[in-house]
Structure 1
């Protein structure tokens, strides 16, 4: 006879943190709401607060969390940690298959101070790919190395330069 563990209703969540671009934390909770869990993770060792990308009430949070950790296992940052280098929308799509309610807290419910939200947004903007156009430089502009004026390169396109002929 196969013994099965009873279902564990609860919440499965996906947290992101702009201080750790590309990583998501996939976890679950039965005892607390998501906003409280976010505050528990807001410790001095983390420069920016976590944001809840998505959270949902599910019939068996333990089973779903284990399944997600297995599915994304090769993308795990470190064994026994809930951090994965995956697209948060991919994890969200899987959770939505069994979700009974979306319980993602609003920004206000997540408890961000205006300064914290500003820091998150500023970090996100810096993380966007920088282009020459964003800083007012056009193709054909010659850039000179400040420590040796004999070293130059020319802007070829919004993201490429030519240095000693080939595009870099």
Structure 2
């Protein structure tokens, strides 16, 4: 994270220890390269559940906040700073009310933003972006318990 920079607030979805991190990272890039947001950056537009499933194949053990790996002062400071950052709002990335958002997996599925926060109109219901994304993925047959709207 330190060399690539984190442009927006983020949530730690899952962390694990692997035996050969360089190899695992290269394989994740191979597997999910078509989901990269920008060629020169380390950011991907993909459901975190998919990445977690891939990481589980190489996992030695899950790492949780409070584990010794987070005792490194730089890592601990970054995690604490992330907790203090404000909640994601569409206005943070220049999305204005009335904008249409497409589901990356199926661009025919759209919702319309209601405010500068994260409220959208999806199929006539005003709901959160995350709820709309989950409903859309479930309609496509994905059996996911939760998704992150952005």
Query: Per the shorter chain, which TM-score range?
Result: 0.3 to 0.5
TM value normalised by structure 2? 0.46
Q: Structure with the greater relative contact order (CA < 8 A, sep ≥ 6): 1 or 2? A: 1
| More strand as a share of residues | 1
| More helix as a share of residues | 2
